[in-house]
Amino acid sequence: MMAPYSRIFAVARPPRTEVGCGHQLSVPRKTIEMTDLPDSPDPRSTREIVSYHAHVYYDPATTRPEAERLRTWIGERFAVTLGRWHDVKVGPHDQAMYQVAFAAELFSSLVPWLMLNHGSLSVLVHPNTTNPRRDHLVNPLWIGSPVAVHGDKLPDHAAGEQAPSPNTHPVLPP
Ligand code: ZN
């Protein structure tokens, strides 16, 4: 009965050639440096961000009323562009949703407001730069629980999307 254990131990043990020389310490440290630091020597500028989207996800069978209420609240308070209702999955989105397109200047008022008022809904907030795939997968923030995003449906390059003319007429303070 000792044979299976001995076999596992033998496999898990590193080969003798990797043990007991100076490389053992320097190799892991170098690996950490290479994986933790991005390639670019300079940080990206927020000037890359042409506008933002917030995608409000909902379940047509259960949370559409909550999504409707949130949509009304947004429209009453912010000059944004409310997109069409998508009761079925569209593009990279894995759940029903509607889009809220907004100018970069609105981020500091709208996003904190969404943090406080999203209820049970998941909201994806992503920048619009020239790389939609990266905008959605690498650089977004989530309010509520994250939902799957299908990056294969997104291009690596596009013209940065300007915020369209608002279609809301806000009458209340945030
Ligand atoms: Zn979007």
* CATH of residue 64: 3.30.70.1240
79 falls within a domain: yes
Closest listed residue to residue 103, CA positions, set 43, 155, 24, 168: 168
146 falls within a domain: yes
Gap from CA of 62 to ligand 1 centroid (Å): 23
> Which domain covers residue 104, as residue numbers?
49-153
Gap from CA of 55 to ligand 1 centroid (Å): 6
Gap from CA of 98 to ligand 1 centroid (Å): 9
pLDDT tens column, 57-97: 999 999 999 999 999 999 999 999 999 999 998 889 889 99
Contact status, residue 53 vs residue 100, Cβ threshold 8 Å: yes
Task: State the amino acid at position 157 in one-letter form.
Answer: H
pTM of the model: 0.76
pLDDT tens column, 116-168: 999 999 999 999 999 999 999 999 999 999 999 998 899 999 998 999 999 99
Gap from CA of 80 to ligand 1 centroid (Å): 14
pLDDT tens column, 2-56: 444 444 444 444 444 444 444 444 444 445 555 666 677 899 999 999 999 999 9
Count: domains in the chain: 1
- For 113, the 3-state DSSP assignment is helix
43 falls within a domain: no
Gap from CA of 31 to ligand 1 centroid (Å): 35
93 falls within a domain: yes
What does the angle CA 16 – CA 22 – CA 26 come to, to the nearest 5 degrees? 105
Six token digits for residue 98: 């509607």
